[in-house]
């Protein structure tokens, strides 16, 4: 009998080696190489491959490809629809990742209930819970519908057969790390299993036009477990973020073939499940202190939505030779850069000061338009002088101290006016070409010195 060939596959990046190695050459991870049996392509795989190509196998000019505008299927969660780009696209494969206990299964069970109550048949497949456990969670969330079918199964061959027979409108897989194909000899959750199971689910989604949602476990670094190939294969990757000790959850798209990748949906975890937050700016500003130095409000864009958040800074003399630079929600390299600009262009001696910055509410901001707000927060704390509580600050800061224009300034200022702010400090280049909302004064600044004079008096 012929000897079976084996190979060693890294469980983090998918790197393959004919022999065992303690350190993976691909991703430099230690003790991640697992032995797997190398197999030839089965006849079943060839049948699936040839069957899936019947619709797309003939090359033809792109001008002759038939297109039709398919309406998206909307859930009752407007925040969920926003992150997906306007609703669920037929035949899409969506991956949802997040920390344990953050609410991934709760979100998908609530979405499944909403779709089932809208006369869509939904098949909820769990490899981690029994039907009784799912029912207990459904009773707690007030989920009840005859159109919602539950199944506890980990064998993908049986799952595929049930999907072929029932032909549901939606499918939920919780989670991909528990599903396995008997043909693949490696353990569930390994690189080979995740790759083959995702490929089979993608075939089902594309050939039958069924939207499939997949739950993916995450590693301690916060990335979805398994190779990056998993994220490349799916149509959309959503991350469910938030602190387990806080009630607010953020659903963020990091990949979306059918919409923007900058959209963000905010939910609040309550006793009866997740509830969407339609106006997050009020939530992030409700506990803002008034008249305290080091606090500045900025209008940041999250996809197509402006969100007003508070940036807090604490500057204090250092007790060590090297001052500390710590930031939560902002890149600490950006903080060091802005402090260097303040020291050079505004004459502030910050080289012997510790700096601690955070974005209130747990948001992560990475757009350049927050630079001016960060600079004013640092200057306010350093001088121990507070800015006006009704000021909102928007602008990018260059290395020469200039304040550069930002995009979508009209939407940012309108959101600030709606929340009762009286003055907006914006780049001088953004003045003109749009109408100023009533009740708010718009002040243009060309450099960081002017911004300091308007907000802190010098």
114-131: pLDDT as tens digits: 999 999 999 999 999 999
Residue 220's pLDDT is 65
Backbone φ and ψ for 358, nearest 5 degrees, come out as -155, 155
Find the farthest-apart pair of alpha carbons in the chain and give their distance in angstroms, rounded: 87
Phi/psi-derived region of residue 176, left when phi > 0, alpha when psi is between -120 and 50, beta in every other case: alpha
8 Å CB contact between 75 and 81: yes
Is 97 a known ligand-binding residue?
no
Rounded to whole angstroms, the Cα distance separating 417 from 358 reads 24
pLDDT tens sequence across 300-336: 998 788 999 999 999 999 988 889 999 999 999 999 9
Non-local CB neighbours of 375 within 8 Å, separated by 6+ positions: 338, 341, 342, 397, 448, 451
Q: What are phi and psi of 112, to 5 degrees?
A: -60, -40
d(CA 446, CA 390) in angstroms, rounded, equals 21
104 is in an annotated binding site: yes
Other Cβ atoms closer than 10 A to 232: 10
Query: What is the per-residue pLDDT across 54-113, written as a single tens digit (0 to 9) for each?
Result: 445 678 898 887 776 668 999 999 999 999 999 999 999 999 998 888 899 999 999 999
281: part of which helix (H) or strand (E)?
helix 280-285
How far is 433 from 425, CA to CA, in rounded Å?
17
- 25 annotated ligand binder: no
Neighbours of 98 (CB within 10 A): 25
Can you name the CATH fold of 283-456?
A: Ribosomal Protein S5; domain 2 (3.30.230)
The verdict on whether residue 121 carries a ligand-binding annotation is: no
Give the pLDDT confidence score for residue 175 in this predicted structure.
87
* Residue partners of 343: CB distance under 8 A and separation at least 6: 349, 350, 351
Q: Which residue has the tokens 């000899």?
A: 185
- Tell me the domain boundaries of the chain: 5-38, 73-278, 283-456
The answer to whether 22 and 11 have CB atoms below 8 angstroms apart is no
The span from the CA of 312 to the CA of 105, in Å, is 34
pTM of the model: 0.77
Give CATH superfamily name and number for 73-278. Answer: P-loop containing nucleotide triphosphate hydrolases (3.40.50.300)
- Specify whether the CB–CB gap between 451 and 457 falls below 8 A: no
Q: Is 102 annotated as a binding residue?
A: yes
192: its two tokens: 């080979």
98 is annotated as contributing to ligand binding: yes
pLDDT band at 49 (very low <50, low <70, confident <90, very high): very low
Residue 3 has pLDDT above 80, yes or no: no
């Amino acid at each position: 009998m012929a000897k079976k060939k084996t190979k060693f596959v890294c469980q983090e990046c998918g790197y393959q080696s004919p022999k065992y190695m303690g350190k993976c050459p691909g991703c430099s991870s230690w003790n991640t190489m697992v032995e797997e049996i190398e197999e030839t392509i089965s006849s079943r795989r060839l049948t699936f491959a040839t069957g899936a190509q019947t619709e797309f196998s003939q090359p033809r000019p792109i001008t002759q490809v038939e297109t039709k505008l398919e309406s998206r299927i909307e859930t009752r969660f407007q925040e969920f629809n926003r992150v997906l780009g306007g609703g669920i696209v037929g035949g899409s494969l969506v991956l949802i990742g997040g920390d344990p206990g953050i609410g991934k299964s709760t979100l998908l069970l609530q979405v499944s209930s909403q779709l089932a109550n809208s006369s869509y048949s939904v098949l909820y497949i769990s490899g981690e819970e029994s039907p009784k456990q799912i029912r207990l969670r459904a009773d707690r969330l007030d989920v009840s519908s005859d159109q919602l079918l539950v199944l506890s199964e980990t064998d993908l061959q049986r799952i595929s057969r049930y999907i072929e027979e029932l032909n549901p409108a939606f499918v939920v897989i919780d989670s991909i790390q528990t599903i396995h194909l008997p043909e693949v000899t490696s353990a569930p959750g390994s690189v080979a299993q995740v790759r083959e199971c995702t490929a089979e689910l993608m075939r089902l989604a594309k050939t039958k036009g069924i939207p499939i949602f997949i739950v993916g476990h995450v590693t301690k670094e916060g990335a979805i477990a398994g190779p990056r190939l998993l994220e490349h294969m799916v149509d959309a990757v959503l991350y469910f973020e938030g602190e387990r000790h806080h009630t607010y959850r953020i659903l963020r798209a990091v990949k979306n073939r059918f919409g923007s990748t900058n959209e963000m949906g905010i939910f609040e975890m309550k006793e009866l499940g997740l509830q969407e937050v339609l106006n997050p700016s009020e939530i992030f500003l409700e506990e803002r202190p008034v008249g305290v130095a080091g606090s500045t409000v900025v209008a940041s864009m999250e996809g197509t939505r402006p969100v007003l958040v508070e940036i807090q800074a604490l500057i204090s003399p250092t007790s060590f030779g090297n001052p500390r630079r710590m930031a939560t929600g902002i890149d600490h390299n950006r903080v060091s850069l802005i402090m260097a600009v303040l020291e050079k262009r505004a004459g502030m001696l910050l080289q012997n000061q510790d700096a601690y910055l955070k974005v209130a509410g747990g948001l992560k901001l990475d757009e350049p338009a927050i630079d001016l707000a960060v600079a004013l927060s640092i200057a306010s704390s350093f001088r121990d002088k507070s800015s006006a509580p009704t000021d909102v600050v928007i602008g990018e800061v260059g290395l020469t101290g200039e304040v550069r224009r930002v995009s979508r300034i009209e939407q940012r200022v309108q959101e600030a006016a709606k929340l009762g702010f009286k003055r907006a400090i914006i780049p001088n280049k953004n003045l003109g070409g749009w109408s100023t909302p009533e009740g708010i004064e718009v002040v243009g600044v060309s450099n960081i010195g002017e911004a300091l004079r308007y907000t802190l008096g010098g």
